[in-house]
Amino acid sequence: MKRNHLITAALVALCAAPAAADTFDRVKAEAGETLFDAQCRRCHTVNPSDPSYGPLLDGIVGRKAGSVEGYEYSEAMSKAGFVWTPGALRAWMEANDELIPGTKMRHVGITDPTVQDFIVSYLASTGK
């Protein structure tokens, strides 16, 4: 129930803070970073100088899929030809092998929309 604690912590922090939209975004991004560390970090980084097995994800929102220079994508991913939106990232976390059949990213299967949303908020806060 670690995730529920995290969500509670995010909501408590939110209530204690002035009610501003950017505060909510920041709290979501912080909760998302913890979730990212737990679910994605063993294969991905958002820091260009860290080595990682999967492609670099900083600034992924708004970037063309399969476009990190020098990363060896699967053929399926390099031919994906779309731009990562928050919605595409949610679909990817839920069933990456359905969004891009033949991808070499292992199925992660994150179906909880809150968890998806927090991770997207975190990713959207990177690469600026």
Enumerate binding residues for ligand HEC (CB under 6 A): 39-40, 42-44, 53-55, 57, 60, 65-68, 73-74, 76-77, 84, 89, 92-93, 103-106, 108, 110, 119
HEC profile of the chain:
CHHHHHHHHHHHHHHHCCCCHHHHHHHHHHHHHHHHHHHCCCCCCCCCCCCCCCCCCCCCCCCECCCCCCCCCCHHHHCCCCECCHHHHHHHHHHHHHHCCCCCCCCCCCCCHHHHHHHHHHHHCCCC
Q: What angle do CA 83, 119, 1 make, to 5 degrees?
A: 150
Q: Which is nearer to ligand HEC, 21 or 69 (CB)?
A: 69
Q: Which is nearer to ligand HEC, 12 or 85 (CB)?
A: 85
CB of 89 to ligand HEC, least distance (A): 6
CB of 52 to ligand HEC, least distance (A): 9
Q: Which is nearer to ligand HEC, 23 or 104 (CB)?
A: 104
Q: Which is nearer to ligand HEC, 18 or 101 (CB)?
A: 101
CB of 97 to ligand HEC, least distance (A): 9
